[in-house]
Amino acid sequence: MGIKLGMVGLGAFGRGFANLFMSHPLVDSIALCDREPERIKAFMDLDFWQAKLNHDACGTSYEDMLRTDVDAIVIITQPWLHAPQCIQALEAGKSVYSAVPIISVPDGDEILDWCSKLVDAVKRSGRHYMLGETTYYRPQAMYARKRAAEGAFGEFTYSQGEYFHDFRDLYKVRERRTNSSSGREWLEREKAYDARGCVMSPMFYPTHSVAGPICVTKTHAVKACCFGQRPFEGEDYFGDDPRRFSNTTALFQMSNGGAMRIIEHREASISREMFSIYGTQGTFEGSEAHEGGHNLWIKGHTPTPLSVDEMRDPLPPDVAKAWEGETFQSSYGGHGGSHPYLVHEFVESVAQERPPAINIWEACRYMTPGVAAHQSAQRGGELVDVVDFGDAPE
């Protein structure tokens, strides 16, 4: 049986996802919500949307959408809004998909608090939460999880993950995200964080770098040691607070005794979201397509190069067919081709009334290491315990 979906947030990222969600064969109808009415209208006028568009439930009010009979909500609003909006959806009896991260605010304790509130809301509501972490469905992650399931790595000894994203690009992103009603409200709210002496950290958005190692090894971080570097050039972007870092590099002890090295750099000359995993029997080394894409499986000291097609799982044929054609090319290609897989996993999990792969317990393990790492960096590399919310219930 198909599902009725509601989607909130039709900005730069949400627009591409809207087409994918609408066209999924298990979606019977879709309603759209954005505080900027012209962003909804852009879809209402499209011929190929008419068959599934739930006109009555479309509008500028999220609260109104929650009162309709949609089964599930997709949230692709600005990152400081995600967690409270997800809790509202769960409390209204809807399963919910959230763009990454769980929440982005310049206060580590508040991030942990929202994680805890979300875990409680999922337990209380009996509904499901999924984090749309793109790295989870990169071909490299799909391949390494398969090898891990076969036991081909042996024991996991070490992993590394990186997210290099330069502030010169992030400037533009910030400008766009604050240029809307909800964006302008945030500029006001930010002043209260400043007044409390809170500073943003690259480690408050560690999901792209830690998700690969954690989803493959099925271990979690227990202790963090991190070093931070002050900005060299980007005073305008990072501000002049001496506690603010542009680049942070952390080492974590993992729950199996191994180690994970994580890079979150916002002042960088390269762009990369990738990971590598080392075991006693096998090793996977990942590489981005724009860097040559030399992904390797290494066993007995012999490296085997891997193509993207070899690494990637196939989508069910009817789902893949629904996304054929030009309209979908840009959304399909984004972040290692992960977007269609995220959409399929969420829609199928709602239709089958099962927890999604990146449930709230998994998602928290992609967030809490960063909070501990930032604390460690603020204390000059002191060892800090990582908060853990436990395994997803069986």
Asked if 79 is part of the footprint of ligand NAD (rule: CB under 6 A), the reply reads: yes
Asked if 134 is part of the footprint of ligand NAD (rule: CB under 6 A), the reply reads: yes
Stated length of the chain: 394
Give Cα separations from 61 to 64, 66, 235 (angstroms): 5, 9, 37
Exactly one of 3, 5, 8, 105 binds ligand NAD (CB under 6 A); which one?
A: 8
Q: How far is the CB of 153 from ligand NAD (least distance, A)?
A: 26
DSSP per-residue string spanning 286-336: ---GGGT--EEEEETTEEEEE-HHHHSPPPPHHHHHHT-SGGGHHHHHHHH
Q: What DSSP character marks residue 123? A: H
Cα(67)–Cα(85) distance, integer angstroms: 14
Q: Rounded to the nearest 5 degrees, what angle is found at the Cα of 362, between the Cα atoms of 361 and 363?
A: 90
Cα(292)–Cα(287) distance, integer angstroms: 7
Asked if 176 is part of the footprint of ligand NAD (rule: CB under 6 A), the reply reads: yes
Residue span binding ligand NAD (CB under 6 A) among the ranges 75-83, 89-97, 353-361, 370-378: 75-83
Cα(336)–Cα(265) distance, integer angstroms: 20
Cα(91)–Cα(219) distance, integer angstroms: 30
Asked if 13 is part of the footprint of ligand NAD (rule: CB under 6 A), the reply reads: yes
Asked if 78 is part of the footprint of ligand NAD (rule: CB under 6 A), the reply reads: yes
- Count the residues of the shown chain that bind ligand NAD, applying the rule CB under 6 A: 27
Residue span binding ligand NAD (CB under 6 A) among the ranges 70-78, 114-122, 163-171, 251-259: 70-78
Asked if 35 is part of the footprint of ligand NAD (rule: CB under 6 A), the reply reads: yes
Residue 47: beta bridge partners? none
Asked if 12 is part of the footprint of ligand NAD (rule: CB under 6 A), the reply reads: yes
Exactly one of 20, 53, 74, 100 binds ligand NAD (CB under 6 A); which one?
A: 100
Residue span binding ligand NAD (CB under 6 A) among the ranges 11-19, 22-30, 113-121, 288-296: 11-19
- Going across the sheet that includes 282-285, the strands are 302-306, 295-299, 282-285, 272-279, 156-164, 259-265, 247-254, 221-229, 384-385
101 or 355: CB nearest ligand NAD: 101
Exactly one of 24, 34, 274, 286 binds ligand NAD (CB under 6 A); which one?
A: 34
Question: Among residue numbers 48 through 67, which ones bind ligand NAD (CB under 6 A)?
Answer: 62
Exactly one of 33, 53, 203, 210 binds ligand NAD (CB under 6 A); which one?
A: 33
